[in-house]
Every structure is written in structure tokens, then in C-alpha cells.
Structure 1
């Protein structure tokens, strides 16, 4: 289970929590402009936008979980098990395997609007990367500084939804989450007023009472509401450090500590990592479950016209700053 979001406060930021019961040996990966993206059914992408994100690297191929390109388009894949349906090859479409979907769009598109145009011709196929790596059932959050969309491949084909909340979690499908948000329209970050009855003398006895009814569980619909509430009411200075800190605070609002959500096999799902990409700084910030100090990888000064991947191991050992 996962939570993704995009955030604009002067500058634009994109990121997510990856919640899973096991580690995927992921790394921060920068794909330079001339890395050859080989596609299963379409022509190789030999020249494209540079990309930075979190990925597994298998046979020198970056299998991205989430990433942002140099133009400021962000994209993340989140679990959509039981709802996602990929299809056989279609002759009248661009046939893109699910593991190719993030690099394909981020290689070609500079904005959500451009992505919408490209998506009209895409069929997401059911091909796996290899026999050892099964196809992951996903849906995707795609965002730039101005807007977000959700893309879901279902039995009916590719569905594209405008996303005013700038948030995505997991099952059910996005229309459910959108409809469910109306159940919480009475929530407020303000000090609440007595709306029960003017005949009753009722007092506010604690701060935060305007958010009574905000769901506190870790289910996908509840995390969607919690993240959307925190994001919509976010207040932060328009500086890089303040925005990055605020982004991680919002992700922490829906993070999963070990022991809170059991997965099959009597093991526990945890927030393996949280990420925040700054478009202005071309920097991928992250923290892991083992190390909650914010770490960073920048592609600002890298030779982005090269053809070899830049791969960075995660800093997983807990780092503590001592003041005496």
C-alpha cells in the first residue's frame, strides 16, 4: 500500500510513501538524456528528457517506482491489486508494458497536458520484465505544478481522471476516492462552531476539534482522506527547506510504523521509504524506515547528456545529530 502526492507552494514537489512488507533493494537512479530505453513493442527511446527517481536496477534497466523528469513532470505507480487489468497487444495503439510506462511518459512529456495527449494512443500491455519479475498491478499519479491526473488500466481500457486532490493511494478505483471525499466536507482546520443546535451551550475544549471524524486507520480510503486533508490545509513558508520539511510531515501523517498493519504471512507492512522531489533544485530527497534523516541526491551538476545510469545506494543506517 502507498500514498503519493504533489504539492505546489511557490515551487513544485512530487513524492510518495512506499508501504510494503519487504525491501525491493531500490536505489535513487538518474537516467541521463542519452540512455537507451529499449521498449518491448515500440521503438527505442535513444534521446529523451533526463529522469530522477527511485528504482530497482535490473540488467541495467531502471524499474522506476516514482520519478520526475527535468521539465517538472512527476509520476508514481501505486498498488492497484484486484482492479488493474492490462491487455494484449493492440495494433492501433502504442503498446507499452507496465514497467515501461513511467520512463515512456517521462521521456516524452513535459507537462500533464502533453501526457494526456500521449495517453490517448497508449495500451498498457500485460508483458512482464522477466520470468523472475511478475507484472505489478498498478495505477499512476501524474502531476506537474499546475495539475494532476490519475491513470488506471481496467477491463474497459485506459481511464484518465483529473485529480483536484493531488493525492493517490490504492484500492478502490479513483472515482470511489473522489466520491468518498464528500463524506468529510464538514472537516475544518479552524476552531469549530456549535452547529448542533443554538439551544445547546456547547464549548470547544481542545484544539483540533474541527477535524473530529478524520479517519485514523491505515486503509487506503482513510489514508487518501488524511493526506488530502493535510495537503489542502497545508501552510508553509515558500522556501526550499520549509517546503521539503512540510512535504515529509504530510507523508508522515499517513506513514505506517511496524506492527500497525499485518500483511499475509504474519509479517508487517511498513513505510519502506518516503520521497520528495524538488523540481527547482532537481533534487530527490528521501528517508527510509531505518534512517529518518532526510538524505538527498541532486542531478543539477551531473553530465546529463551521458548515456550511462547514475545509481546511488540508499543511506539506511540511522543518523543522529548530537549537539553536545
Structure 2
């Protein structure tokens, strides 16, 4: 994962219940791009880990990455077994450990490939996490360690991983959603404030002496926060995701997934991070983790673009990169 990214992001786990197909995706929000590609790491690409030697053979991976030299620094990815993982900013709270003996010392930038290369499920990831020491070794002098926390998910469950001053925490994530700060237990706790929200029209509980009435559709969701803070975006996307109803086809499911994440889009001009610089949703992704298809849109390109990992040689040794399609594609009818 790249360093120096302090923008806000959203990650969502979703399942199409009838066929039990698992979808995983996120938004990445920042004021500029580092240069990112949809990147496939085949099974025989040699991962060289900073403190743990080499891994010559592993599960194939597809995701969004900045490729530094020949090394994929993944923002988010899935592997061929259907396990997904994403890193999101956790500035001010992330603290990494020092290298120590007797454990797996994993550098922060290696965390996503280390898990996805070896684990087929969240259950297997939990076993790896139990013996892991997440360290702050930087990728390079130009790319120091980013302050992140992570979501790891499959079709059955999701966990949030946070490395803080008091150690490494692994939390069950029943909503399958993650944003940035505050720490995950506080993100979950604040949902108590919105327990009365509903997709249904409300009944009047204010007073039996007043004849209050609904005057618009959608009033069951009154009180759902609409600001751009990470905490508010967590509540908003959790409500949308937990109440979302998808169709049964692949196209309907992918479309619905993008609609869920579009509920927390960042529009240029609304979030000024420096004089004249604005955070925007650089890209939004949706992965069919069962089929190994990575779908995405970008800020200037609303057409959904897809890359299928299984149409590449997954037994190869070299990574495969697809540059992002960033220009708007408008279909004229006359």
C-alpha cells in the first residue's frame, strides 16, 4: 500500500444471497493519483519479503496497485480463492511494532500480498494474524510507511485489523464496512445513535397530542448523517449496504454495488484539504471475488470497466498491468 495517502476511503463487503456470490470493493479518495493500475500478480511471481525471505508460488491476486519497479503496492485486492483485503487510512492511530524474533515480521506495505498470497479464507487469515508482527519497515526512503488499518473479508465473514500503540487488534466486522478514523470499535458504537432509522416511512412517536405527519418519501432515514467525515460516511454506507436490495444477475449486482458506494462519493470542491486542492473519489471498485473480475469506475469515467484475472496466464512469473481508463465515455444517441 502506498504511503502519504491521508484521504478518506470506504470499503464494503457484499453478497448476492441467492447465488451466494461475494463482492468486495472500495472507494479511494484523495486529491491526486500516484499512478495506479489494475494489477494481476500470477502464482509464480516471486514475492521477496523484507524480513521473511521469498515466496515463489502462491495464490494469484488481482487488485488496484501502484507498481514500484516490479513490486505491486496494493490498495485493495482479491485472490483466486475469493478472499478480499483493503487498506484504508488510519492517520494518528496506526502504530507499527519493531522487528522481533519468533514471529512473522510483516512490513506494512507487504501485508496485503502476504495474506492474499497464502490464505483462502478469513479463518486462515486469522491463523496467520495470530503469529504475525506488523512492522513499520518502509518500502523505500521515498515511500515511508503509511498509517493504515485493514478489512479482510470472504463470503462468510469480515474482520478489521488495527495496529495501535497497545498492540495488534483483530475485530469481527458484522457490517462488512470500514472507513478511516476513529478506531473500529468506536465506528461500530456510533451506529447505536441510528438504530431507529428505517427504509420505511416513520410513525409519529413525538407526542400523542400532536398530529404530525409525513410530508415526503424517505423520511424513515431522517437523521442519517450527510457530511463528509469518515465517521458519518461509515454510518451512511452501513445503512445503505445493510438495506440494499439487488437483482439476481451479475450486471444488476455489480450495478447495485456501485450505487452503494456512490452514496459516499466525494465531489470536487466539497472537501478542501489545502488551498485550492480538493479530495475526490479517484476510483471506485467492485470485485466479483468468486469469478476473479475487478470492476471499477474513476472520477472522470462513470462507465464500468472490467478486468478478468482468469483471462490471463495465472501460472506466469510477471505481473500484468492495465492502466486505468480515466476519460469520460459518453454515448450519444443522435
Q: Normalization by structure 2: what TM-score?
A: 0.95
The answer to whether structure 1 residue 235 and structure 2 residue 236 are counterparts is no
The answer to whether structure 1 residue 117 and structure 2 residue 119 are counterparts is no
**Secondary structure of 1:254's aligned partner:** coil
The answer to whether structure 1 residue 268 and structure 2 residue 278 are counterparts is yes
Per mean C-alpha deviation after superposition, the further-off stretch among 24-33 and 200-209 is 200-209
**Equivalent of 2:157, from 133, 143, 147?**
147
Q: Distance in 2 between matches of 1:60 and 1:79?
A: 24
Equivalent residue, structure 1, for 2:256 = 246
Q: Distance in 2 between matches of 1:265 and 1:77?
A: 27
Equivalent residue, structure 1, for 2:54 = 44
For the 8 Å contact 1:35–1:47, the answer to whether it is kept is yes
**Secondary structure of 2:117's aligned partner:** helix
The answer to whether structure 1 residue 107 and structure 2 residue 117 are counterparts is yes
Equivalent residue, structure 2, for 1:6 = 13
Alpha-carbon displacement from aligned partner over 1:260-287 (angstroms, at most 9, x marks no partner):
1111344111101000001233110001
Q: Distance in 2 between matches of 1:162 and 1:207?
A: 35
Q: Distance in 2 between matches of 1:152 and 1:169?
A: 12
Q: Distance in 2 between matches of 1:108 and 1:281?
A: 18
Alignment of 1:5-24 (within 5 A): 5-9=12-16, 10-24=20-34
The answer to whether structure 1 residue 168 and structure 2 residue 178 are counterparts is yes
Q: Distance in 2 between matches of 1:281 and 1:305?
A: 17
Q: Distance in 1 between matches of 2:256 and 2:176?
A: 15
For the 8 Å contact 2:84–2:289, the answer to whether it is kept is no
Unaligned runs of 5+ in 1: none
For the 8 Å contact 1:4–1:168, the answer to whether it is kept is yes
Give the number of aligned pairs. Answer: 324
Equivalent residue, structure 2, for 1:286 = 296
Aligned CA-pair RMSD: 0.9
Q: Distance in 1 between matches of 2:166 and 2:219?
A: 43
Unaligned runs of 5+ in 2: 1-7
Q: Distance in 1 between matches of 2:288 and 2:320?
A: 18
For the 8 Å contact 1:87–1:126, the answer to whether it is kept is yes
Q: Distance in 1 between matches of 2:34 and 2:302?
A: 18
**Secondary structure of 2:333's aligned partner:** coil
For the 8 Å contact 1:187–1:210, the answer to whether it is kept is yes
Q: Distance in 1 between matches of 2:171 and 2:97?
A: 20
For the 8 Å contact 1:11–1:238, the answer to whether it is kept is no
- With over 3 angstroms needed to count, the CA separation of the structure-2 counterparts of 1:23 and 1:208, relative to structure 1, is same
Runs of 4+ that moved beyond 4 A: none
Alignment of 1:24-43 (within 5 A): 24-43=34-53
**Equivalent of 2:99, from 82, 89, 93?**
89
**Secondary structure of 1:227's aligned partner:** helix
Equivalent residue, structure 1, for 2:4 = none
